[in-house]
Structures are given as C-alpha cells and as structure tokens.
Amino acid sequence: MKRFIATLTNIFKIEDLRVRIINTILLLLIYRVGSFIVLPGVDPTLMVTKTQDGILGLLNMFAGGSFSRASVFALGVMPYISASIVVQLFGIVIPYFQRLQKEGESGRKKVNQITRYLTIFITAGQAIGYVKTQVPPEAIMLDSFLFSLSSILVLTTGTMFVMWLGERITDKGLGNGISLIIMIGIIAQLPLAFSSELVSRMGVNGGGLIPFIIELAALAFVVILVILLVQGTRKIPVQYAKRIVGNKQYGGVRQYIPLKVNAAGVMPIIFAQAIMFIPGTMASFLPESSFAQWMGPNLGNPMSLSYNLLFAFLIIAFTYFYTAITVNPTQMADDMKRNGGFVPGIKPGRKTGEFIDGVISHITLPGSIFLAIVAIMPSIAVMVGINSQFANFYGGTSLLIMVGVVLDTLQQIESHLLMRHYDGLMKTGRIKGRTPAGAAAI
C-alpha cells in the first residue's frame, strides 16, 4: 500500500504527466456530458425507455448509451473505425495508397485526411438510417423533413467532434484517444449491467447470491485470460520455431526471436465487429424487405449460431491480415543482417525473411483462435443463463478493449516514471501493452 501511494505521489510530481492526466480526464468528461445531449427536436423522456438488443445493443455499448438516448454523439466513433478499415484495405489493393504508406509522415497525413473525408460520408449514411429507424415518431417534436435534415447534420458533426476529442487526447493526454473514448463508453454501461444481473439473481427464480458470486469468479478468470492474451509477448526459441516451420537443421545455440503470439492485439476483433455492423446498416434502409427479415434473427442477433461462426471466421482472417500489414519479416531480416545478427542454420537476408514469415504464420493461428473464442464468450454466457447486458463483459470486444486500453495507458505512465528514474507501477518487470507507448491502438 505504501508503494502504491508513493507511486501516485511520483506521478503527480512529474508536471508533464500530471498535465496529460488532467487533460485526458477533462476531455473524456466533455465526451460523457455530450453523450447526454439529445438531438434537437427529440423528446428525451420517450427515448430513455427505448432498449436496444443485438447489434444495435453493441453499438449502444460502444457509444456509452448515446445510441439509445438519441444523443448528438449517438453514432460514436464506429464510422471512423469503419473508414480506417476501408483505407487500410485500400493500402493493399490500390497502388496510390501503397505509395502513400511509403512516403513517411507526409503520406500518413494524406491517409489521415482521406480517412476523415470517408468518415463524413459513412457517418452521413449511418445517420440517415438512424433517423429513419431508431427515433420513434412520437418522440419527434419538429417537422419531419426539418428534423431529418438537422439530425443528419448534427450526428455527422457529433462524430467528427468525437474524433477531434480523440485526437486531442492522443496528442495532449495519455493513451490512444479513440480507444479511451470507446472504453469509457463501455465502462459507463457496467454499473447498469451489474445491478441488472444482481436483481435478476435475487429474484424468485434467480437462484440467489451464490450463483452471482460464481459468475463474478468466472468473470475474474476470463479477465485474467484476456490480460494474458492482450499482453501476449513471448520469446519463441529458434529451435522450436524451426520445428514448427519444418526445418530440422537447427544448431545447438539457443537463441530467441522476439515475436508476439498475438501481434495484432484487439484490432482483428474491432475490424470484424465493424464488418458485422454492415448488414444491419443495410437492412435499416429496407426494414420490410426479405433480406432484413432474414438478417434480424441471424446476422442481426449476436447470440445466433450463424452470427458467431461468421464473427469467429472474420476475427481469424483479420488476425492474419493485420499481422501481415504490421509485421514485416523482410525488414526484420534486413535489420538483423545490418546489425550482424542471424538465425543459426538460416542464410541471412531473404532466407531469414522467409523463415520469420513462416514462424509468424504458424504462431498466429493459436493466437487468432484464442481471440475468436474470447470474442464469442458473451454468447456462451447467455446460453448458461447470464443476463445479456452483463454477459457482454465476459469477453468479446468490450472486455478486450477495456483490458487492452488500460494496459496501454499504464504502459505510458510506466514509461514516464522510468524516464524520470522513479519506480514503475509494478514491483518487478514491465507492463506490456499491445503496442509501444504512444503508438495508435486503433
């Protein structure tokens, strides 16, 4: 306890760190206040009683409840995430975007600008569907056309403002701003989910307090597994790596290749979740169509078998995709060669790059499968009788984002402390986030 208090004291002794913490808190507070400001012309009392299920429930969780309240921040940052995914895909198939990625800082600025423009178009499209399907007519107090036009403009502006808040947190605060905004929205739903599950367990047919305690113990176990998954950095012995690849000519010198079993972090599950939102958005424009009628109980229901199978497949696929675009075996091999390093039994240069690529491909598989299992854990929790709201915290995007963002933020604080020669947050070892301190988490 004394060490913890001393660490907190050291944190606030560092002026830059203290200012960043205060900036982060204030900017997140602005976001939370804005999430309770409803769209002009909407009766908020008729929106509070409206509940969301399925994919819309997940959107509501990511938006911190703004979605169900018809807030000016109702669409949150999901349009920006969708735009980021599209731009990254463009970087693989379109030569122009490939050139931008190789241009360094200037190219990155152009890519960010394109992402912002694309976010505006995606947000406007989602805003149209939101106004038509999520705001009940009895809650609208303005002319229908005027309300639709003003709401689309306000929702689009709201999403861009949330993006701006995220960028300010990244620049002036701690951690990745967009990730923190998503996390704070998820945490805001935890008290309601917790109390709802407790009330249901204490009811006539709920089973009492013992099942609830067991649920909490199971949740703690899942959290520990997710922490291990998100940290996921391991040194892979060269000998073992060669056995995986099938190369039996390894030497007797025990060396290590610092690779991650889960190099993609939580990005694959965020990518997959964004893709799973697309059918629901399309169906919202034609609610009476046969496609919408089929999508509702299938891809529109996160608890359905078809939804979870497709979700798990997308996570595994995006894990390989994101690992491929973030880990460059050829560059790693070139760096090793320039620094005089080598893998015993493997020729430096191209052969080493091929060897590292093979190792990455093989060790990514178990990481991607584990990530997919964690992602569908909420559905399993619902099957055993846990309230759907509380079940979302047993895995899935919500728990992975919370754990990953917390670890990344703590890693940044740890770095500030160690740079000033103060003791870190942990007694031994270093906190290992998904990315180096200061890198974008989303």
The three-point CA angle 434-160-266 to 5° equals 20
Which residues are bridge partners to 233 per DSSP? 260
Cβ atoms of 156 and 116 within 8 Å: the answer is no
More confident residue, 435 or 262: 262
Q: What is the 3-state secondary structure (H, E, C) of 212-229?
A: HHHHHHHHHHHHHHHHHH
How far is the C-alpha of 157 from the C-alpha of 155, rounded, in Å?
A: 5
Structural domains of the chain, ranges and CATH numbers in brackets: 1-173 (1.10.3370.10), 188-442 (1.10.3370.10)
Q: Please write the tens of the pLDDT for every residue from 8-54.
A: 777 777 788 888 889 999 999 999 998 888 888 888 777 654 445 55
Q: What is the pTM of this model?
A: 0.73
Question: Residues 6 or more apart from 98 whose CB is under 8 A from it?
Answer: 91, 92
Residue type, 246: G
Pinpoint the alpha helices (H) of 49-175.
Answer: 54-62, 66-69, 78-93, 95-101, 105-133, 144-172
Other C-beta atoms closer than 10 Å to the C-beta of 300 total: 21
Q: Please write the tens of the pLDDT for every residue from 73-98.
A: 988 888 888 888 788 778 777 888 87
33, burial (CB in 10 Å: exposed 0-12, middle 13-18, buried 19+): exposed
Q: What is the mean pLDDT of the chain?
A: 76
Q: What is the mean pLDDT of residues 320-347?
A: 77
pLDDT score for 258? 60
Q: What is the mean pLDDT of residues 331-337?
A: 78
Which residues are bridge partners to 373 per DSSP? none
Cβ atoms of 434 and 408 within 8 Å: the answer is yes
355, burial (CB in 10 Å: exposed 0-12, middle 13-18, buried 19+): buried
Q: What is the mean pLDDT of residues 339-365?
A: 79
Asked whether the predicted pLDDT for residue 336 surpasses 50, the reply is yes
CA count, 13 A, side-chain hemisphere, 28 = 24
Q: What is the mean pLDDT of residues 210-217?
A: 83
How far is the C-alpha of 333 from the C-alpha of 350, rounded, in Å?
A: 7
pLDDT score for 286? 66
Q: What is the mean pLDDT of residues 363-386?
A: 81
Residue 205 CA: distances (Å) to CA of 121, 199, 268, 387, 416 = 48, 11, 39, 13, 51
pLDDT score for 215? 82
Q: pLDDT class for 243, splitting at 50, 70, 90?
A: very low
Tell me, what DSSP letter sits at residue 39? P
Cα-to-chain-centroid distance, residue 436: 16
Tell me, what DSSP letter sits at residue 438? T
Residue type, 82: S
